[in-house]
Amino acid sequence: MISRSSMTPERDAAYRAALNAALATGQAVLAGGGSALDAVEATARVMEDNPLFNAGRGAALSDDGSATLDAAIMDGSTLKAGAVAGVTTTRHPISLARRVMEATRHVFLIGAGADVFAREQGLEQVPNSWFITARRWGILEEVLREDGRPIPPRPSGLTDEAPSVSVQVPVSHSPDEARFGTIGVVARDRAGNLAAATTTGGLTGERWGRVGDAPVIGAGTYADAGCAVSATGTGEYFLRLVIARMICVHAGEPGTSLQAAADRMIKGDLTRIGGDGGVIVMNDRGEAVFSLNTEGMYRGTVSSLSPARVMIYADEGGNVDGPVARAAAPH
Ligand code: ASP
């Protein structure tokens, strides 16, 4: 779990710097007149390259030692969405999800078919080992050992280094670093359109072939004209409650605040059935809220009117009201 006692000052600072860099990426896109969709994709790409977070390089590993990546993106203004699950060689799964949305008639591609589509689309390909860091391998070994499951042979030459090309970055991540830590981004652009993006390696030690909530539209990712959500946590519980869309449905009910809609699902229903995690949520007025039932979640928010704020622990900071462009990243 993220707890103050387990966090070193260096690690705390590294996460805060990464969150700020992620927010700066999204904000620059929005400030330049880019769409919410462009902002969430660009922000998620930077986070995918940052080994601190569970997505792209540094993704949580499956029980066979491979990185199998899931991602989803949704455009609130059109309700168009794209998602991929179990992809293994695309450096930026979030861009593959966007390509599914824009270049096919489909919403969701999985496994080998999605990998082939990525190559056909000319998206940057990397060997699966590119995603695997020494730190994540260590966490995988711990989880498998605890569960008494066989440990696959450790690949040689693992490091924790960031790739030379990109800047650090992520955004919110999840509560139990050892097992999850998906990244997510929601944004509202000048035109008032919302978008959401979520990208993850899933849960450490997940059975090979398992897919969580992150790429499932309505469960881990959702955006419509009034509300955008990205979730992190124990995906099976988010799937059962269809959390992301339910938050948007509740947010549209008269007299319900955005915070109340998010808390109802996270502190209410999710907690009641034994799930852990949190969400980042934004509405069409640019109000950004977070809700979590864990001790911490890496998260941050920025807008054209208010400076970036990043938070790690549950008791840090509040939510922000404000108009215009705002990018927030959860998990
Ligand atoms: N929700 C993700 C999943 O279940 C994991 C995470 O949030 O880190 O796959």
**Pick the catalytic residue: 68, 88, 89, 182?**
182
150 inside domain = no
d(CA 30, CA 145) in angstroms, rounded, equals 45
Is 88 an annotated catalytic residue? no
State in Å: Cα 101 to ligand 1 middle: 22
Query: Along the 331 residues of the chain, how does pLDDT read in single tens digits?
Result: 455 666 778 888 888 888 899 999 999 999 999 999 999 999 999 999 999 899 999 999 999 999 999 999 999 999 999 999 999 999 999 999 999 999 999 999 999 999 999 999 999 999 999 999 999 999 999 999 999 999 999 999 898 876 432 222 223 333 344 445 788 999 999 999 999 999 999 999 999 999 999 999 999 999 999 999 999 999 999 999 999 999 999 999 999 999 999 999 999 999 999 999 999 999 999 899 999 998 888 888 888 888 888 888 788 865 544 333 334 444 3
State in Å: Cα 182 to ligand 1 middle: 5
Supply φ then ψ for residue 139, to 5 degrees: -65, -40
Ligand 1 atom closest to Cα of residue 331: 7
**Ligand 1 within 6 A of CB of 180:** yes
**Ligand 1 within 6 A of CB of 202:** yes
Ligand 1 atom closest to Cα of residue 206: 9
Ligand 1 atom closest to Cα of residue 54: 8
C-alpha pair distances (Å), 10 with each of 15, 104, 151 = 9, 44, 30
Mark 47-62 as b/e (b = at least 16 C-beta within 10 Å): bbbbbbbbbbbbbbbb
204 inside domain = yes
151 inside domain = no
294 inside domain = yes
152 inside domain = no
109 inside domain = yes
| pTM for this entry | 0.90
Q: Reading across the β-sheet that carries 221-223, which strands appear in turn?
A: 221-223, 227-233, 277-283, 288-292
State in Å: Cα 192 to ligand 1 middle: 29
pLDDT of residue 238: 97
What's the alpha-carbon Rg for the chain, to the nearest Å? Answer: 18
**Ligand 1 within 6 A of CB of 214:** yes
CATH number of the domain bearing residue 74: 3.60.20.30
Angle, helices 93-103/111-120, rounded to nearest 10 degrees: 80
In sequence order, the 6+-apart residues with CB closer than 8 A to the CB of 8 are none
Look up the domain containing 53 and give its range: 4-142+159-330
149 inside domain = no
148 inside domain = no
pLDDT of residue 324: 30
State in Å: Cα 289 to ligand 1 middle: 20
d(CA 177, CA 276) in angstroms, rounded, equals 12
pLDDT of residue 144: 97
- Classify 197 as helix, strand or coil: strand
pLDDT of residue 75: 98
**Ligand 1 within 6 A of CB of 200:** yes
Q: Reading across the β-sheet that carries 183-188, which strands appear in turn?
A: 108-110, 80-87, 69-75, 194-200, 183-188, 326-329, 296-303, 309-313
Tell me how crowded residue 148 is: count the other CB atoms within 10 A of its CB.
6
Number of compact structural domains in the chain: 1
